[in-house]
C-alpha cells in the first residue's frame, strides 16, 4: 500500500479525528478538517468533469480528453488520492 493510498483511506481520517478530539480548541479544528475534506472532494470532482482526462486503457491513446464528460472513464485527472493528500497537508 503506497503512502498516498493510505492517506486517502479511512484509518488516517480516524487517526486525525481522534487527535483533533484531544485538542483544547477541538470544535474549530474539527470544523476546519471536515470543511477541508468535503471541499477538496467537491473541487476535485468538478475539476475531473472539466478536464475529462481518459483513464489509462480507455479512449484514443494517452492524450485523449473529453472536457465536461460525466463518464467515469474520463475522470483520471486529478487523482482523488493526490487531492486528499494535499488537503491533509494544508491542515
Q: Residue 56: what pLDDT? A: 75
- Given pLDDT bands bounded at 50, 70 and 90, which one contains residue 1? very low
Looking at the structure of the chain, the number of domains it has is: 1
Q: Residue 10: what pLDDT? A: 62
Nearest to 19 by CA among 81, 88, 87, 86: 88
Query: For residues 77 and 40, what is the distance between their CA atoms, to the nearest angstrom?
Result: 14
Q: Which domain holds residue 19?
A: 3-90
Enumerate the H helices of 1-91 as residue ranges: 3-7, 10-21, 26-51, 80-90
pTM: 0.65
| Predicted confidence (pLDDT) at residue 42 exceeds the cutoff of 50 | yes
Amino acid at each position: 500500500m503506497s503512502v498516498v493510498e493510505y492517506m486517502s483511506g479511512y484509518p488516517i481520517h480516524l487517526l486525525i479525528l481522534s487527535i483533533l478530539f484531544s485538542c483544547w480548541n477541538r470544535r474549530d479544528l474539527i470544523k476546519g478538517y471536515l470543511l477541508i475534506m468535503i471541499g477538496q472532494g467537491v473541487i476535485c470532482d468538478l475539476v475531473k468533469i472539466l478536464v475529462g482526462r481518459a483513464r489509462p486503457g480507455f479512449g484514443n491513446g494517452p492524450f485523449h480528453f473529453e472536457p465536461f464528460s460525466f463518464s467515469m472513464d474520463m475522470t483520471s485527472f486529478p487523482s482523488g488520492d493526490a487531492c486528499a493528500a494535499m488537503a491533509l497537508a494544508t491542515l
